[in-house]
Structure 1
Amino acid sequence: MIRRIFHCTLTALSLASLPALAQTPQGLPAGPRVAITAVTQPLPTQPQYVLDQRILRDGLRERSGGRIEMTLASHAERNLSGNEIVRLVRSGQAEIGAGTLSTLSGDVPILDGVDLAGLAPDIGLARRIADAMTPVANRDLERFGVRIMAMFPFPAQVLFCRTPFATMADLRGRRVRTFGNSLVDFYAALGAQPTSIGFPEVYSALERGVVDCAITGSGSGVAARWPEVSTHISDLPVSWAVAAYIVNLNWFNRLEPPVRELIEATFRQLSDAQWELGATGTRDGIDCATGNRDNCRIHTLAARPMTEVKASDADKAETRRIFQQVVLPGFVRRCGARCGEIYNQVIAPLSGVRFGG
């Protein structure tokens, strides 16, 4: 499994980051060793973590001539849930951290607006929004002593169900495992019953019928063996679990300019590779779940193939309606009027949906 992930990761790297490699500074002038502690992905087995190892940890060591040495760990290896990342980096316990924006938004509410349920129907739009919002989010984050270096996605967040469904209307009355406020708003608007269950407990909840459906990344669900306890998977991206790499600002500003330049260039390269992996991993997760052996290259082929439910035009239109009428107002209500103004200034020109318009 790890060998297959690593092979795909290198493929994604070759496709996504060659231009960045050409622009990445090679080598540093002689100077003191730079030791970095980084805590990034939730699990060490994730393809995203393999990219962190290859580009961030190993790449910085190689291109710095050995001056930069990074100790890299996953959340699980440090016994973290993920919502501590801003405080961990702010305190200097780690110089670099990463976490999903919906989790980090507990400290910085504006982050939740980058990846609202129904906001971005495709990963290209999700990236344009993330890029546009990075400097805006940093104005808030820098008050905490941290800064976003790059945002990146996980595969599309899609629905797994233990019984058949054909359209989103069929979800009415079903208990759906969700996470984050905007997903709760989205599925409640469909007439479903949002239910909060920790990711490790979802398998047994689906198996025992505690929930009827659950949402997660297409590949994440396959990796967690959800096809064993569910029968149908949607291809409709509801969100992208966009995440961010953040650095301790005081530490970063004290670094020599050539070291800062190398780290910034490396994050640009890593971001390109992670967005490419998010795109390829989305379809790969669905192909693996549905038994499409020829196109299942990153994740594990499901022993019991699921049925893919393709979103209709009506489903896509309903997703946009719910985002505009329910999810977006709910976000502004929680975050405040300033967040609505920022959304209209920065995101609305990209999404085509204005708050209050």
Structure 2
Amino acid sequence: MLKRTALVTAITSTLLATAAQASPLSLKVLGQPAGSGMIAQQKEQPFFESFSEHTGIEANVEYLPVDVAGIPDTDGLRVLRSGLFDIVSLRGPQVSRDEPSILGLDLIGMNTSFEAGRENIDAYSDYVDSRLQERFNAKLLGVWPAGPQIIFCRDEIGGLSDLQGKRVRVGDQSAANFVGGLGATGIAMPFGDVQQSLSRGVIDCAITGPASANSGGWPESTSTVLPIALQLAVNGYAINLDTWNSLTEQQQVELEGAIAELSNDIWGYSEALYEDAMRCNAGESPCEFGTSYSLTEVPVAQEDLDKVAAAVEEVSLPTWASQCNAVADDCEAVWRETVGQKLGL
């Protein structure tokens, strides 16, 4: 009788385990803000809404933009650690306040082109991943750029020197330090508040990518754009480690490969969006993805290019290194061994 009971129990356990494995996964995904632009609308959201098709993993996915979920975009890493969402589309500059190493992917003056950005970001991503695993119970799956961050102003400017005395919306502390060195005041502000703040004169200028500016209607409240790339606004995808460890080895391979493919796709799309948005914002053709405006595009002087290039060593690296080393002794050392060598620092 005991043997029979044990046999029934074993069979039942096996059937339950098999049924559990056969059941589709349930994943909650926290995405980019709904109004942040074409990357979220055309690449990210379709990927997660057709998750099984893209990954080969049977799953029921609930995708929510971070602003629709009512969660501050600065809380992305805390959300991952809590397990409230399984996968989070991290907004790099915003979450870097909780994990400074993320800023090491995109210091002012470090990624002045898409090509340079790919190399520098790849060189430091493994270190950032190790920090997320250690501190936030999260694994970094992919990294991508919103695009070159350039300067939009209400009034006409001729170059970086004209920012002196102005209030400039910035995306992170690295940018705030840079504009501060130019005599401007860097102001952190959620993307959704910028257009109205420009319109009312609360701020004089603001930094973002041209596609995001177009999507957010910034050209309605600005007159001039200075197209000098300060950084690439790096974002990424990360998964809660408990969720990751619950996947089979095959599912992990499929998910990692699919996110890598999505991230790579966004790199190319981001570059195409940048070029198109620059034409749209200036009222030029073809304008395929955005709204046509009539901003004045200021020619970039070599003097300003030199200022941005010098900012890595003179402004952004020293300040960031002191912040990052305070939470991780090897933060700057690893950066210098990887990215720093590529930049000749």
Of 196, 220, 229, the match for 1:228: 220
Residues 108 and 256 (structure 1), Cα distance of their counterparts in 2 relative to 1, 3 Å cut: same
Q: Distance in 2 between matches of 1:32 and 1:202?
A: 44
The answer to whether the Cα contact below 8 Å between 2:140 and 2:239 also exists between their aligned partners in 1 is yes
Q: Counterparts of 1:100-119 in structure 2 under 5 Å?
A: 100-119=91-110
Matched, 1:274 2:263: no
* Match in the other structure for 1:23: none
Matched, 1:243 2:235: yes
Query: Displacement of 1:204 after TM fit?
Result: 2.7
Query: Displacement of 1:38 after TM fit?
Result: 0.7
Matched, 1:322 2:332: no
Query: Displacement of 1:323 after TM fit?
Result: 2.4
Query: Displacement of 1:44 after TM fit?
Result: 5.7
Query: Displacement of 1:91 after TM fit?
Result: 1.9
Q: Distance in 2 between matches of 1:95 and 1:291?
A: 42
* Match in the other structure for 1:21: none
Of 46, 58, 61, the match for 1:67: 58
Q: Distance in 2 between matches of 1:338 and 1:45?
A: 34
Q: Counterparts of 1:189-208 in structure 2 under 5 Å?
A: 189-208=181-200
Aligned residue for 2:268, secondary structure, equals helix
Residues 106 and 195 (structure 1), Cα distance of their counterparts in 2 relative to 1, 3 Å cut: closer
Q: Counterparts of 1:45-60 in structure 2 under 5 Å?
A: 46-49=37-40, 50-60=42-52
The answer to whether the Cα contact below 8 Å between 2:67 and 2:73 also exists between their aligned partners in 1 is no
Q: Which amino acid aligns with 2:321?
A: V
Matched, 1:145 2:137: yes
Of 154, 158, 166, the match for 2:146: 154
The answer to whether the Cα contact below 8 Å between 1:152 and 1:242 also exists between their aligned partners in 2 is yes
Q: Counterparts of 1:5-84 in structure 2 under 5 Å?
A: 31-43=22-34, 46-49=37-40, 50-61=42-53, 64=56, 67-84=58-75
* Match in the other structure for 2:165: 173
Q: Distance in 1 between matches of 2:68 and 2:37?
A: 13
Q: Distance in 1 between matches of 2:47 and 2:255?
A: 11
1:251-280 Cα distance to aligned partner (Å, 9 max, x none): 212211221111111111101111112211
Query: Displacement of 1:231 after TM fit?
Result: 0.7
Q: Which amino acid aligns with 1:74?
A: P
1:93-148 Cα distance to aligned partner (Å, 9 max, x none): 11100122222222221111111111111011112222222211111111121010
Q: Decide which structure has the larger Cα Rg and report it.
A: 2
For structure 1, the 5+ residue unaligned runs are 1-29
Matched, 1:335 2:317: no
Q: Distance in 2 between matches of 1:32 and 1:43?
A: 30
Aligned residue for 1:291, secondary structure, equals coil
Aligned residue for 1:252, secondary structure, equals helix
Q: Which amino acid aligns with 1:320?
A: A
Query: Displacement of 1:314 after TM fit?
Result: 1.6
Q: Distance in 2 between matches of 1:184 and 1:348?
A: 22
The answer to whether the Cα contact below 8 Å between 1:60 and 1:263 also exists between their aligned partners in 2 is no
Residues 154 and 196 (structure 1), Cα distance of their counterparts in 2 relative to 1, 3 Å cut: same
The answer to whether the Cα contact below 8 Å between 1:117 and 1:327 also exists between their aligned partners in 2 is yes
Q: Which amino acid aligns with 1:272?
A: N
Q: Distance in 2 between matches of 1:166 and 1:281?
A: 25
The answer to whether the Cα contact below 8 Å between 2:55 and 2:258 also exists between their aligned partners in 1 is no
Q: Provide the TM-score with structure 1 as the length reference.
A: 0.84
What is the number of residues matched between the two proteins?
320
Q: Which amino acid aligns with 1:77?
A: V
1:158-211 Cα distance to aligned partner (Å, 9 max, x none): 100111122212222222122311011100111222233333332232223232
The answer to whether the Cα contact below 8 Å between 2:145 and 2:235 also exists between their aligned partners in 1 is yes
Matched, 1:284 2:276: yes
* Match in the other structure for 1:126: 117
* Match in the other structure for 1:85: 76
Higher mean alpha-carbon deviation, 40-49 vs 91-100, is at: 40-49
Q: Distance in 2 between matches of 1:341 and 1:297?
A: 44
Q: Distance in 1 between matches of 2:215 and 2:278?
A: 11
The answer to whether the Cα contact below 8 Å between 1:156 and 1:278 also exists between their aligned partners in 2 is no
Q: Which amino acid aligns with 1:180?
A: D
4+ aligned runs moved over 4 Å, structure 1: none
Of 279, 285, 299, the match for 1:293: 285
The answer to whether the Cα contact below 8 Å between 2:168 and 2:204 also exists between their aligned partners in 1 is yes
Indicate the percent of aligned positions where both proteins have the same amino acid. Answer: 24
Of 174, 182, 185, the match for 1:182: 174
Q: What CA RMSD, in Å, does the superposition of the two structures yield over aligned residues?
A: 1.8
Aligned residue for 2:34, secondary structure, equals coil
